[in-house]
Amino acid sequence: MNTHTLLTTPAWQVLQHLYKTHASKLDVRALLQKNLSQTVHMCISAPEMVADLSRNLLDTSIIAALNQLARERGVEAMRDDMFHGQKVNVTEQRAALHYLLRWPDENTHTALQKQSHDVPAQVAQSELAFKESSNAPLNVPSNLQSTLQDVLKTRSAMLAFAESIRQNAHITDVVNIGIGGSDLGPQLAIQALDAFRLGDNPADHKFQPKRFHFVSSLDPQELMSVLRQVRPQSTFFLVASKSFTTLETMTNARAAKAWFLAEGGTDVARHFVALSTNTQAAADFGISTCFGFWDWVGGRYSLWSSIGLSVAIAIGAKHFQDMLAGAHAMDQHFASTPLERNLPVQLALLDVWYRNFHGMGSRCVAPYAFGLRRLPAYLQQLEMESNGKRVDQQGRAVPYRTATVVWGEPASNGQHAFFQMLHQGTDVIPVEFLVVKQPSPNLPSYMAQHHPDLLANALAQAQALTQGVTSSLGGRDVTAHREMPGNRPSTTLLLDVLTPNSLGALIALYEHRVFVQATLWGINPFDQYGVESGKKIAQQMVEIIKGNSVIDLNADDSSKKMFSMLGKNSDSG
Ligand code: F6P
């Protein structure tokens, strides 16, 4: 990577100058009025989606300087390093090869192309299909060929297994036990792809779709509330953990196994499956079927691996492959589209512009699609665990801010909660609207009729944030209380329809955006040492709380006070 620190790159100086001279006073309303061609230019197509960036605090000079910044920070070289299998995860000395997990299997690829007539008509007619032309297609370099063969072999075994469970009418419930990346991705995907659970094949329809449950919390209330709804003989447990040591997951897995046996369940081996890189630990737990993956898959990038087994059971092998294909199309876009039209790059540049120049501390994610209701939580892990870092790749403290707070709720619920603050609060918070053009397939018409309202609300909120309501704009009787300043930035990501392909593309878009943010900031997005310390302290504290020990030499005075309020002795009593 370029050895210039971020702050001394020429492009940074230009951006600072632009910010001081005019960018901080930029009024998007004026730009939208006078320059339709620029507005059109600010729509970027990528696989399965179009992004409208025209409501952002940008003009052509700022965009040019941001793109220059990407060049000076070596975004293209870092991206190519990742796609060539270099050890871009410098602290753990590993490559980051999650994109290999969605590499098409040439054998199934042709079959899938032949099956394209199976997709619902509305999906096939997608107007937002991959329109953006690319430079050169992505290839797997020779050093990664054997890894790819491993990936394809594991995928095909996992998908065959998923189909067997999917078609097993005796299994009515699937419980995924996992946390973080071993929970959020599968949960998001199963909710988002609910319409695809029955499959295209009418033969599948004779089976009732299974119920899917997710257990992640250490609080047993969550596990208990799931176990109350299921029976051992018809339930299938997936213990999803890359490390197979995570406290929450192991505790819940042990409790689920105890419940299974106590409730008369027989044959743990048939009802429990592990998804892990730690096959030995899974075997020690008593699980004989384990689908593995690799240490080069970060937990928050693992949806595409065996961790996605619950998704494959829910939507079937073909739709799972479609999800991978959507993500792969986004990989191609990222790898080969010029920076100026490269959507992950443009979104990451915008993030840096708002974070480091405008000082904005958060971004609101507003999916106007119920299926995407876990997207904000998913992105919290992806962005904040990846880029919540304070030192650069060489371990030097960075003199600028990094990851922003990501938060949100599915709208229009958010409109009835926090949108007030977005419109009139003292903080300016960029909003990301996720809008799906077509209603979810298979809805009765009286429900599909909700969709125009949903679309109108998304569009209306975006416009209201931009335009505001001010007396200076001719609004009569606009008192200070009713005034909305406007000029509040937002981006709209428009999907044609929520399908396995578009969901895959969307998630891969965010993965690459986070990678580009990290490259611009010079930090490593692939480790997460920050979460370790608290876990270690908890191991000592639990001994005090259980009464096994009265001495915690590392407890500080505040913790000692809490021990005492909990009626537990520590060294100070
Ligand atoms: O504590 C953070 C973390 O390591 C995440 O990165 C990961 O997704 C999660 O815990 C779960 O880890 P595992 O899949 O190993 O149980």
pLDDT at 448: 85
Is any ligand 1 atom within 6 A of the Cβ of residue 528?
yes
pLDDT at 35: 65
Measured torsion, CA atoms of residues 564, 566, 571, 572, in degrees rounded to the nearest 10: 0
How many beta carbons lie within 10 A of that of residue 143, not counting itself?
A: 11
The H or E element spanning position 175 is: strand 173-177
| CA–centroid distance, residue 228 to ligand 1 (Å) | 27
Count CA atoms closer than 13 A to 272's CA, side-chain side.
25
Alpha carbon distance 512, 211 (integer Å): 32
pLDDT at 382: 98
Q: Which residues of 425-464 are buried (b: 16+ CB within 10 A; e: fewer)?
A: eeebbbbbbbbbbbbbbeeeeeeeeebeebbebbeebbeb
- Paired sense of beta strands 490-495 and 49-52, if any: antiparallel
Measured torsion, CA atoms of residues 241, 242, 248, 254, in degrees rounded to the nearest 10: 50
Alpha-helical regions (H) of 417-531: 419-424, 445-448, 451-467, 500-521
Helices 500-521 and 309-336, interaxial angle, to 10°?
Answer: 50
**Assigned token pair, 164:** 């067997």
DSSP code for 484? B
**Three-state secondary structure readout of 26-48:** CCHHHHHHHCHHHHHHCEEEECC
Summarised one tens digit per residue, pLDDT across range 379-391 is 999 999 999 999 9
Is any ligand 1 atom within 6 A of the Cβ of residue 300?
yes
How many beta carbons lie within 10 A of that of residue 104, not counting itself?
A: 16
pLDDT at 127: 38
**Is the Cα torsion angle 471, 475, 477, 483 positive or negative in sign?**
negative
Alpha carbon distance 197, 210 (integer Å): 9
Alpha carbon distance 329, 134 (integer Å): 11
Mutate which of 182, 244, 387 for ligand 1 pocket (most atoms within 8 A of beta carbon): 182
User: Counting atoms of ligand 1 from 1, which one is nearest the CA of 240?
Assistant: 14
| CA–centroid distance, residue 344 to ligand 1 (Å) | 25
The H or E element spanning position 321 is: helix 309-336
| CA–centroid distance, residue 7 to ligand 1 (Å) | 33
How many beta carbons lie within 10 A of that of residue 55, not counting itself?
A: 26
CB 392 within 8 A of CB 398: yes
pLDDT at 205: 64
Active-site positions read 385, 416, 535
- Per residue of the chain (573 residues), what is the pLDDT tens digit? 545 699 999 999 999 999 999 887 899 998 888 766 666 678 999 999 999 999 999 999 999 999 999 999 999 999 999 999 999 999 999 999 999 999 999 876 544 444 433 333 333 333 343 344 445 678 999 999 999 999 999 999 999 999 999 999 999 999 999 999 999 999 999 999 999 988 766 666 666 789 999 999 999 999 999 999 999 999 999 999 999 999 999 999 999 999 999 999 999 999 999 999 999 999 999 999 999 999 999 999 999 999 999 999 999 999 999 999 999 999 999 999 999 999 999 999 999 999 999 999 999 999 999 999 999 999 999 999 999 999 999 999 999 999 999 999 998 899 999 999 999 999 999 999 999 999 988 788 888 889 999 999 999 999 999 999 987 655 566 688 999 999 999 999 999 999 999 999 999 999 999 999 999 999 999 999 999 999 989 988 998 999 898 777 789 999 999 999 999 876 644
- Which residues, including other chains, have CB under 8 Å from residue 408's CB and lie 6 or more apart? 364, 365, 366, 367, 375, 376, 414, 432
Among 371, 506, 441, residue whose Cα is nearest residue 125: 441
pLDDT at 133: 42
Mutate which of 92, 187, 242 for ligand 1 pocket (most atoms within 8 A of beta carbon): 242
**Closest residue to atom 9 of ligand 1, CA basis:** 180
Alpha carbon distance 429, 408 (integer Å): 11
DSSP code for 394? T
Is any ligand 1 atom within 6 A of the Cβ of residue 249?
yes
**Closest residue to atom 16 of ligand 1, CA basis:** 241
Summarised one tens digit per residue, pLDDT across range 507-564 is 999 999 999 999 999 999 999 999 999 998 998 899 899 989 877 778 999 999 999 9
Is any ligand 1 atom within 6 A of the Cβ of residue 242?
yes
Is any ligand 1 atom within 6 A of the Cβ of residue 372?
no
Q: Please, which residues bridge with residue 89 across strands?
A: 94
